[in-house]
């Protein structure tokens, strides 16, 4: 069952097994980059196929090519957006003193994209159904924009929550190590004994706090865990990056257009430069009503 390997790997991310505190403690995120990347491409191809169903029902010159174009463009959209935004994220992270190495950071982002693509892929069936049954090009565009937004939102939510969990763990590790430091130089029996008792209490308190923060059986990968947040700057960098990722992703989708294929014009791999994603969505929205 070698084919099922990547699927299982992705499933473990979706179930939150990879982001449980026990798994996070050992390394950053124990995922196989290649396998998740494979799944991302596969799910992208699948969604692209669902997306291109609309062009199959239309009859404009060269519409057969739209199927291949859509299939290639969906995974490309996500991976190119990551490619553009990744270097700056890494640099700013390092600047504010985060502990992420390049590979660790990449793992985190690929896992988030995996979550986003899973949602996208599973919504593909609905998009395909609407593609078959509707003739309105504007409606299809807006539906797709909505589906992409929902998927992207869930993926980025996963990123933020995982980051939050990691910062909780760092906090705990730091208190533990500071406790160790204070316990080690114990010489005087009276004082040392006192300190030790207090520390044992404190550390057991800390671990019980952790236990109440994480209830791994119930909590999914998106569940909010409460607790102190470490390294506010790192989180700020990630928050800014998420906005940038969204903007770049939207504009990237505009550059890579057409994804669906305008039934009133000929097939083209790319359309001429000009305008922007947001302008286009606004006009499409108005079109739907006219």
Which is nearer to other proteins, 54 or 254 (by Cβ)?
54
Dihedral (CA of 113, 116, 119, 121) sign: negative
Which is nearer to other proteins, 57 or 275 (by Cβ)?
57
Site for other proteins in 42-81 (CB under 8 A): 57
Min dist CB 192 to other proteins, Å, is 44
User: x/- site string to other proteins, residues 137 to 156, per CB under 8 A?
Assistant: --x--------------x--
User: Cβ(10)–Cβ(118) under 8 Å?
Assistant: yes
DSSP label of 220: -
Min dist CB 139 to other proteins, Å, is 5
Among 88, 135, 207, 236, binds other proteins (CB under 8 A): 135
Min dist CB 133 to other proteins, Å, is 4
How far apart, in Å, are the Cα atoms of 263 and each of 59, 70, 266, 276?
7, 15, 8, 21
Min dist CB 48 to other proteins, Å, is 16
User: Is 108 exposed, middle or buried (CB count within 10 Å of its CB: 0-12, 13-18, 19+)?
Assistant: buried
User: Cβ(15)–Cβ(30) under 8 Å?
Assistant: no
Which is nearer to other proteins, 80 or 145 (by Cβ)?
145
How far apart, in Å, are the Cα atoms of 165 and each of 23, 141, 169?
11, 36, 6
Min dist CB 74 to other proteins, Å, is 16
Tokens at 263, concatenated: 């039934």
Q: In the complex, which residues of this chain contact other proteins (CB under 8 A)?
A: 11, 14-16, 57, 115, 118-119, 122-123, 125-126, 129-130, 133-136, 139, 154, 158, 218-223, 288-289
């Amino acid at each position: 069952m070698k084919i099922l390997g990547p699927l299982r790997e992705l499933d473990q991310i979706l179930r939150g097994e990879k982001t449980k505190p026990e798994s996070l403690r050992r390394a950053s995120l124990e995922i196989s980059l290649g396998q998740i990347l494979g799944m991302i491409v596969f799910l992208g191809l699948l969604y692209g196929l669902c997306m291109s169903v609309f062009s199959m029902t239309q009859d404009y010159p060269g519409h057969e090519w739209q199927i291949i174009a859509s299939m290639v463009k969906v995974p490309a959209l996500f991976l190119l957006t990551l490619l553009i935004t990744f270097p700056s994220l890494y640099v700013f992270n390092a600047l504010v003193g985060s502990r992420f190495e390049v590979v660790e950071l990449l793992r985190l982002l690929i896992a988030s994209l995996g979550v986003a693509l899973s949602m996208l892929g599973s919504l593909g069936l609905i998009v395909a159904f609407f593609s078959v049954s509707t003739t309105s090009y504007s409606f299809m565009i807006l539906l797709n924009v909505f589906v992409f937004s929902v998927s992207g939102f869930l993926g980025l939510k996963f990123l933020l929550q995982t980051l939050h969990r990691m910062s909780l763990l760092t906090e705990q590790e730091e208190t533990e190590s500071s406790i160790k430091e204070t316990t080690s130089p114990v010489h005087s029996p009276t004082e040392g004994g006192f300190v030790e008792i207090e520390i044992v209490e404190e550390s057991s308190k800390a671990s019980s706090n952790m236990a109440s923060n994480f209830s791994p059986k119930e909590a999914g990968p998106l569940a909010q865990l409460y607790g102190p947040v470490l390294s506010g700057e790192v989180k700020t960098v990630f928050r800014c990056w998420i906005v940038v990722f969204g903007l770049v992703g939207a504009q990237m989708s505009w550059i890579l257009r057409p994804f669906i294929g305008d039934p009133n014009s000929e097939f083209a791999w790319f359309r001429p430069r000009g305008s922007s994603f947001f302008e286009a969505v606004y006009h499409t929205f108005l079109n739907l009503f006219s």
